[in-house]
Chain A
Amino acid sequence: MTEVFVNMGEISSAKNHGILTTVGLGSCIGVTLYDHKVKVGVMGHIFLPRSRSNDQGAPPGKYADTGIPAMIQEALRLGASKSRLQAKLAGGANLFPNLSLNTISIGQQNIQAVTELLTQHGIPIVGQDVAGNHGRKMRFFVDNGVVTVTAIGKEPVQI
Chain B
Amino acid sequence: MNEQKLDFLRELAVIGTGHATIALSQMLQGRMFKLVVPDAQMLPFTEAADYMGGLEQVVVGIFVVISGDVRGYMACLHPLDTARLLVRLLTGQETEEIDELGRSALQELGNIMVTSFLNALSKMTNLLMMPSVPGLAIDMAGAVWESILAGAEVTNEVTVIRTKFSAEGEEIEGHIIFLPDEDDFRKIARQFGLEDLG
Contacts and interface: CB of A to CB of B under 8 A. Distances in A.
Contacts of B63: 96, 99
B65 A26 contact: no
Interface string B98-141: 00000000000000000000000000000000001101110111
Interface string A33-63: 0000000000000011000101100100010
B142 A24 contact: yes
Contacts of B145: 24, 26
Interface stretch (A77-85, A122-130, A134-142): A134-142
Q: Is the interface of B mostly helix, strand, loop or mixed?
A: mixed
Contacts of B140: 23-24, 26, 135, 137, 152
Contacts, number: 96
A66 interface: no
B150 interface: yes
B2 interface: no
Contact of A26 (B45, B136, B146): B146
B139 A99 contact: no
A105 B97 CA distance: 28
B151 A135 contact: no
Q: Is the interface of A mostly helix, strand, loop or mixed?
A: loop
A31 B63 CA distance: 27
Interface residues of A, number: 32
B56 interface: yes
Nearest to B137: A95
Contact of B56 (A23, A28, A99, A107): A23
Interface string B56-77: 1010010111000000000000
Interface of B: 45-46, 49, 55-56, 58, 61, 63-65, 132-133, 135-137, 139-147, 149-151, 155-156
